[in-house]
Amino acid sequence: MADLLSLTRGALCECSLLAREESGAGVFLLEFAVEPGGGTPEAPSPGQFYQVRCGSGREHMLRRPLSAHGFALESGRQKVSFLVEAAGWGTEKLCSLAPGERVSMLGPLGRGFVLDGVGKALLIAGGIGVAPLFFLAREMERAGVAYDLLAGFNTGEKYYKPLDDLAGSVVACTEDGSLGTRGLVCDGMAGYLAGGYDAAYACGPEAMMSEAAGACEDAGIPCQVSLDSRMACGIGACRGCVRQGTDGSNLCVCSQGPVFDSRNVSWRK
Ligand code: FES
């Protein structure tokens, strides 16, 4: 592992759970503290991720890639949070951790969102994809970047309530119409894109990001997307996360991304 770690600037660290809160049906906000002496990671930027080990034993060898939802440095102690949907044995195990329990993490990894030169942005989030965009929205508030955020969920029970505390305007929709307008987050997006944005940022299901990317391209607005991919190593060594680029090249999601210019991604139909 030591040789592989030389491929990344992420650090292998031990973290203990500080707080766990169910933020929506089956979705948990988990806040961890980096344990002293357990490695000292850099601060993550929005869009970067961690490879998180969900348990011990051989069946838990593969780590789960989780986008950072937030970061704080308090009295010299690093705190990092994740929004996790309990959707399989690994994430269910994570979501059932008790405060004080420890997990091993490698990170922060990958390339996050780029804000340079952006004065006003549109953020488009689908489901659990809200996690890195919430982090990005907080970063934009610190950097003085204006933004609007479109957020779509299957149902109102999944709505991420801390969105209500953001300084930017948030427009929510649900597929079943139980909260906000009924429909998909990209419905009517062309109208929003007429709002004078310098850039757009999207994270969510593949079909949603593909549609957002197309709408942004039609509007002439650059769009950065955070791709989801199954990952084994998370550091560019196994090539298990590769996606095809529009120029025929292979995009290594974990090391070249997970954030890409949407025009460089060959979208799956
Ligand atoms: Fe191994 Fe990306 S997960 S190369």
Determine the atom of ligand 1 nearest the C-alpha atom of 237.
4
Q: Which of 5, 111, 227, 231 to mutate to test the pocket of ligand 1 (most atoms within 8 A of CB)?
A: 231
CB atoms within 10 A of CB 90: 19
What would the 3-class secondary structure string for 133-152 be? HHHHHHHHHHHCCEEEEEEE
d(CA 242, ligand 1 centre) in Å: 7
pLDDT tens per residue across span 143-179: 999 999 999 999 999 999 999 999 999 999 999 999 9
Determine the atom of ligand 1 nearest the C-alpha atom of 255.
2
Q: What are the helix and strand counts (H, E) for the chain?
A: 6, 16
Inter-residue contact 262 to 202 (CB < 8 Å): yes
Residue type, 229: S
Determine the atom of ligand 1 nearest the C-alpha atom of 233.
1
Which band of pLDDT confidence, cut at 50, 70 and 90, is reported for residue 268? confident
Burial status of residue 223 (CB atoms within 10 A of its CB: 0-12, 13-18, 19 or more): buried
Cα separation, 143 vs 130, in Å, equals 19
Across the chain, mean pLDDT equals: 91
Which residues, judged by CB distance below 6 Å to any ligand atom, belong to the binding site of ligand 1?
Answer: 231-234, 236-241, 252-254
pLDDT at 2 over 60: no
Determine the atom of ligand 1 nearest the C-alpha atom of 231.
3
Q: Which of 8, 252, 256, 260 to mutate to test the pocket of ligand 1 (most atoms within 8 A of CB)?
A: 252
